[in-house]
């Protein structure tokens, strides 16, 4: 074992110990290893992330405060990123400084049941319609990872879902796809300026966590990837933030910083003419042939490319 891997294991062990303590390690989501398991991924590639099933507790009854109340509280980091979600007349902000400790928020916004998800290891802040076969299902954190990505599980069938794909990859619902909902990853400062009547996820989560620090330290900016991935691609630094899109089975990634610098980008991909417009952290992608929005995946480059190794890069 190399020194690099020893250091990585020590860091991960410290993260786990700081977040959840040793007792929660005993809980596991059982995955039989026999050939009867229905799976789209190799079972052998699923690894334990540390805490077991629900060791990272999802927020199932989220509380929200107004923007003015959040400003008065002074506990939200101005430049801290989070997920901005607008459905109907309701706009909500889910700060990563809170969601990093929970990874999933089961919410209902303007009547639509949604799963607000964040994998700190992959930088993927994504929102899904959590209706499956016409029924709302609740998602939890399995404690397992695939290609460094959060494997969610649904509490109806205990199927495993790859978060970056929004797809069931092991279990009874294998192959079922959740609908990805457009939800820009922006800063708290941007959200509060744009949505004065918006709502903010409260630190009153029902759990005792230090929401003023990240249990992952400088993971977002260092060069380490703590868990195994099948693909490495040197075209970008591993943790470059990108927007990934899929059109007709083809994949492309757009570096967030490059689009922000240009502010307005026109591109052709998969036979479509696309326009990307940046307003601060928020980037809107439009298919100009249909005038419809293209919903991107927010991710670190390494996470996107390991799931889509044939991806094009802008």
Average pLDDT over residues 43-58: 95
pLDDT for res 36: 56
Domain extents for the chain?
3-23+38-201, 241-313
Sheet holding 160-162, edge to edge: 46-48, 139-146, 149-154, 160-162, 167-170
Residue 19: pLDDT band with limits 50, 70, 90: very low
CA 89, CA 120: separation in Å to the nearest integer?
29
Give the phi and the psi of residue 301 in degrees, each rounded to 5: -55, -45
Q: What is the pLDDT of residues 63-90, one digit of tens each?
A: 999 999 999 999 999 999 999 999 999 9
Listed range (12-21, 95-104, 128-137, 173-182) with the worst mean pLDDT: 12-21
Average pLDDT over residues 221-241: 96
pLDDT for res 30: 52
Report which of 311, 138, 104, 66 is spatially closest to residue 207, judged by C-alpha positions: 104
CA 56, CA 43: separation in Å to the nearest integer?
22
Q: What is the pLDDT of residues 94-125, one digit of tens each?
A: 999 999 999 999 999 999 999 999 999 999 99
Report which of 164, 168, 128, 132 is spatially closest to residue 149, judged by C-alpha positions: 164
Listed range (10-19, 29-38, 227-236, 305-314) with the worst mean pLDDT: 10-19
User: Cβ distance 280 to 190 under 8 Å?
Assistant: yes
Listed range (15-24, 166-175, 248-257) with the worst mean pLDDT: 15-24
The percentage of the chain sitting over the pLDDT mark of 70, rounded to a whole number, equals 88
Report which of 259, 264, 249, 263 is spatially closest to residue 312, judged by C-alpha positions: 249
Of residues 30 and 45, more confidently modeled: 45
Residue 31: pLDDT band with limits 50, 70, 90: low
User: Cβ distance 48 to 146 under 8 Å?
Assistant: no
> Does the global pTM surpass 0.95?
no
Both ends of the chain: CA-CA distance in Å?
37
Listed range (11-20, 122-131, 253-262) with the worst mean pLDDT: 11-20
Mean pLDDT, the chain, whole residue set: 91
Alpha-carbon separation of residue 222 from 84, 216, 218, 240 (angstroms): 26, 11, 6, 11
């Amino acid at each position: 074992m190399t020194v690099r891997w020893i250091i990585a294991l020590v860091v991960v062990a410290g993260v786990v110990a700081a977040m959840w303590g040793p007792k929660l390690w005993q809980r596991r989501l059982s995955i039989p290893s026999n050939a009867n398991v229905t799976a789209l991924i190799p079972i052998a590639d699923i690894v334990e992330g540390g805490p077991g099933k629900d060791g990272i507790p999802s927020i199932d009854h989220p509380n929200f405060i107004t923007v003015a109340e959040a400003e008065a509280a002074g506990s939200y980091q101005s430049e801290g990123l989070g997920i901005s979600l607008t459905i109907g007349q309701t706009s909500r902000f889910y700060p990563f400084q809170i969601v990093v400790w929970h990874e999933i928020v089961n919410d209902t916004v303007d009547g639509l049941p949604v799963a607000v998800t964040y994998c700190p290891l992959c930088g993927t802040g994504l929102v899904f319609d959590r209706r499956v076969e016409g029924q709302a299902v609740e998602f939890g954190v399995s404690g397992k990872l695939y290609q460094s990505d959060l494997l969610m599980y649904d509490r109806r069938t205990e199927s495993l879902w790859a978060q970056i794909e929004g797809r069931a990859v092991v279990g009874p619902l294998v192959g079922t796809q959740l609908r990805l909902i457009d939800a820009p990853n922006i800063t708290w400062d941007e959200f509060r300026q744009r949505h004065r009547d918006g709502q903010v996820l409260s630190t009153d989560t029902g759990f005792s966590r230090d929401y003023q620090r990240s249990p992952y330290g400088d993971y977002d900016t260092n060069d380490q990837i703590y868990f195994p991935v099948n693909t490495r691609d040197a075209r970008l630094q591993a943790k470059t933030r990108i927007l990934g899109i899929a059109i007709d089975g083809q994949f492309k990634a757009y570096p967030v910083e490059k689009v922000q610098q240009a502010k307005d980008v026109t591109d052709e991909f998969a036979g479509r003419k696309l326009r990307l417009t940046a307003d601060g952290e928020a980037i809107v992608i439009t298919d100009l042939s249909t005038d419809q929005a293209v919903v991107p995946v927010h991710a670190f480059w390494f996470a996107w490319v390991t799931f889509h190794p044939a991806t094009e890069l802008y």
